[in-house]
Amino acid sequence: MTPMKNTILATLIILASGLQPALAGQNAPADVAAIDKVVEQFRTSIINRDKPTFTSLFFSDKPEEVTWQWVIDDAGLALLRKRNSGAHKSIHVAGENYLSFIDSLVKPDARPAEEKFRDVKVDTDGEVASVNFDYSYLDGGKETNWGREMWQLVRTDAGWKIISIIYSVHPPIAK
């Protein structure tokens, strides 16, 4: 190969490799629609106390394999510390996970619950995805907290599944 052909080939390879991040970052409409469906099923399964649908949205039937983590804002932490000086801004609570959450909602004496989502944003390359949005959580029709929620999802043989949920908690007084 001549030096000129080597230069052209090297240039084409460099240009082509530069396109990969741009191609990988595209949100295919079918993937976004499928992920939006997961978000809607999550929302409606809370309202309907539909444990089978809710639990089917997660990557594993072992809740300890799915991240479920909160962090409270400074105002909320100050309130908690008035009742418990050892309260933490964020701490892993063993047993606090998607299964314990839905179990608390399907108890016969549980009040109606709803999580409202605003400004839902999906980012995916077709294999992994992130979803983030503002939320308000209502217990018995009353807002108990609000904040920002972020999910990580993976596309499995069974469709999109949630593998991680992290969220901020702001008590209503801080709004």
Tell me whether residue 82 is in a domain.
yes
Tokens (6 digits) for 127: 């294999």
Is 54 part of any domain?
yes
Q: d(Cα 57, Cα 98) in Å, to the nearest integer? A: 10
CATH assignment at residue 147: 3.10.450.50
CB-count exposure of residue 79 (10 Å: 0-12, 13-18, 19+)? middle
20, part of any domain: no
> Per-residue confidence of the chain (175 residues) as pLDDT tens digits?
666 666 665 555 555 555 455 455 589 999 999 999 999 999 999 999 999 999 999 999 999 999 999 999 999 999 989 999 999 999 998 899 999 999 999 999 999 999 999 999 999 999 999 999 999 999 999 999 999 999 999 999 999 999 999 999 998 874 4
Q: At 117, which helix (H) or strand (E)?
A: strand 113-124
Q: Is residue 112 part of a domain?
A: yes
Token readout for 88 is 């933490």
In a domain, 24, yes or no: no
Entry pTM: 0.83
- Residue 63, domain extent: 31-174
Residue 11: inside a domain: no
Residue 8 lies in a domain: no
Please check whether residue 86 lies inside any domain of the structure.
yes
What is the count of structural domains for the chain?
1
